[in-house]
Every structure is written in C-alpha cells, then in structure tokens.
Amino acid sequence: MTMLAGQIKRFLGVGLLATAAHVVTATAVDALFDVAPLIANFCGFSMAVLWSYIGHTKATFAIRPRHGFHFPRFLVVSLIGLTLSSLITWWGVEKLGAPFALTMLLVAVVVPAFTFVSLKLWALKT
C-alpha cells in the first residue's frame, strides 16, 4: 500500500470515529441537559473536532504537532468544511431544487476530499 493510500484509509477511519464522537456527544448532551438542539449539536461538533485533530495528527499523518501552529489551521479547515457543507446543502436544495439526499451525497464526497487535501498540504504539513 502506498503512503497516500494508507493516509486515505486512516483518514476515513478517523473520520468515522469522529462522526461517532459527534453523534454520541450531541445525543448525550441533549438527553442530560435542558439545552437547545443546536447547542447539543455544537457540543458534538466540538468533540468531533478534537477527536479529528488528535486522530489526524497521530494516525493519519503521524506528525509531532506544534499545537499553537497546527491546531488553529486545523480549526480553520474544520470551519471551512462546515461552511462548505452548509453552502452545498443550501445551493442544492434551495437553488437547484435537488433532493436533500442527493445534496448529502455531494457533501459526503466534496467535504472529506477538501478536508484531506487541506490538512495534507496546509494545516498539518510539517
């Protein structure tokens, strides 16, 4: 397996774990505290960002991160990914009239591809 193929495989694994952390955290916050759903989701998103950062620095790209340098860049990529997924959803459903499920398929391809390339070439580059 090439180095790139290994990184992609680990990237997908970390992404699945981060997604699980997001869902479990958001669900727990919703069940345990009297907060709005968007607050619970934000808590889940925040947990996923932390899991992703740890997983991608340790496993996907196996770097020794300089947290003051790498984490802000990682956070920028994460927030751009969130914005990109929102824009794709809005554009697809509201402007093109596409089915929501179809826009989610596009999000599921575009956002991880953007994130992988951005992390590899900029945010977590050593």
* 93 C-beta neighbours (distance < 10 Å), count: 15
- pLDDT digit string (tens) for 40-72? 999 999 999 999 999 999 999 999 999 999 999
Name the nearest CA neighbour of 49 among 65, 85, 25, 27.
25
Contact 119, 12 (CB under 8 A): no
* pTM of the shown model: 0.92
Percent of the chain with pLDDT over 90: 98
- pLDDT digit string (tens) for 3-32? 999 999 999 999 999 999 999 999 999 999
CA distance 29 to 116: 29
Mean pLDDT of 27-38: 96
Contact 111, 84 (CB under 8 A): yes
CA distance 64 to 49: 18
Torsion sign across C-alpha atoms 111, 50, 20, 64: positive
| pLDDT number for residue 92 | 96
For the chain, give the mean pLDDT: 97
Mean pLDDT of 98-103: 96
| pLDDT number for residue 126 | 86
Record the tokens describing residue 108, joined without a space. Answer: 């599921």
| pLDDT number for residue 125 | 95
CA distance 97 to 102: 10
- Confidence class for position 115, pLDDT limits 50, 70, 90: very high
Q: Is the pLDDT of residue 1 over 90?
A: no
